[in-house]
Structure 1
């Protein structure tokens, strides 16, 4: 069997960094190194929970008010299921826009309620932030609520930056280790053995008593 055209030792060594960086994402690598790690402080978590709890409470009447207004503009809206879908497909213009907004806000209110019950404060912050981004100032939000949203975003961004920095450092360390490993004779010999296993796999019969070994193929 003719072997494939393998890179030279120099080429193999030069591709060490690429091999590390394309093996998995930085976040995946970090998760394997520090499973379950948190990137926010306890004080930040407490502040975030307090902000999200109050934001959920403050935003509920705003959602309820706007949902009620939109429902009044669509008195013929079916309760649910296929009748609603058929009704929705026929909508045009402002009625279509109102129906889209109504469905989105109803879903947002449900998601926030579920998130509060499950103490999923990140979800609360995400949903309230969506309201701020896409419905403010059509839905009037207090200055305190707007400030709370911005503060939650700042806390999330700080934790994300710590995570990203740790991920970058993990990748850099892995690259350095792989470059050093490929510079050794032992690593090169193992690479040659791996290539030989691929180029010349053993062939065994199905049901034979021979124990498979690395590189075996079953026919």
Structure 2
């Protein structure tokens, strides 16, 4: 149903102007509060890996050699560094969705960072706005799908359309088999001689 919606209403924005303004306002304190929390955890993890190469192939080889908890911690360190970079860019580029998404990733999957209540409240509000936009999109998609179903039912209600549907079903019930070197009519179905 979403493919149909995207064909009929391409590039539709499902948030309202007031939603966008509120999301932009909420994204500033969200990113501002999240960044130091990420930095503290990144610093803690970096202290565990003083021999960590800067980047590139050397870091990849170093990472592969790690085992157990060290492997997990190094993976978390890389992920948190990436999240911090994405949040900072999203703040600069005014992309509140990216900030909300990454804040949600930390909230749901990384319990080592304890998020304060005011940051959780901001995230809850951002999620509520995005959920309302998703609901509007889903309602439009369902309405469009139901209209297409009603149109198809009306089309099939004609005698001519029903006759074509019966022919289509008969063709499905009697598949065509082609025998190399012999000629058979299409109505013989899968009979072999």
Q: TM-score range by the shorter chain?
A: 0.7 to 0.9
Written as runs of structure 1 = structure 2, the 5 A alignment for 1:39-118 is 39-118=14-93
Please give the alpha-carbon distance, in whole angstroms, between the structure 2 residues aligned to 1:185 and 1:57: 66
Of residues 144-153 and 112-121 in structure 1, the stretch that sits farther from structure 2 once superposed is 112-121
What is residue 148 of structure 2 aligned with on the other side? 174
State the Cα distance separating 1:105 from its structure 2 match: 0.1
Alpha-carbon displacement from aligned partner over 1:141-182 (angstroms, at most 9, x marks no partner): 211101111111111111111111111111010010011122
State the Cα distance separating 1:35 from its structure 2 match: 2.3
Please give the alpha-carbon distance, in whole angstroms, between the structure 2 residues aligned to 1:93 and 1:36: 45
What is residue 147 of structure 1 aligned with on the other side? 121
Written as runs of structure 1 = structure 2, the 5 A alignment for 1:20-39 is 26-39=1-14
Please give the alpha-carbon distance, in whole angstroms, between the structure 2 residues aligned to 1:190 and 1:33: 28
Number of residue-to-residue matches in the alignment? 167
State the Cα distance separating 1:130 from its structure 2 match: 0.6
What is residue 209 of structure 1 aligned with on the other side? none
SS in 1 for 2:14: coil
Instruction: For CA contacts below 8 A with separation 6 or more, give which structure has more relative contact order.
Output: 1
2:157 to 167, 173, 183: 183
Please give the alpha-carbon distance, in whole angstroms, between the structure 2 residues aligned to 1:187 and 1:117: 57
Please give the alpha-carbon distance, in whole angstroms, between the structure 2 residues aligned to 1:107 and 1:186: 61
What is residue 110 of structure 2 aligned with on the other side? 135
SS in 1 for 2:15: coil
1:162 aligns with 2:99: no
SS in 1 for 2:88: helix
What is residue 120 of structure 1 aligned with on the other side? 95
Alpha-carbon displacement from aligned partner over 1:90-142 (angstroms, at most 9, x marks no partner): 11122112101100100101111222232221111101111111223x21221
Query: TM-score with structure 2 length normalisation?
Result: 0.79
Structure with greater helix percent: 2
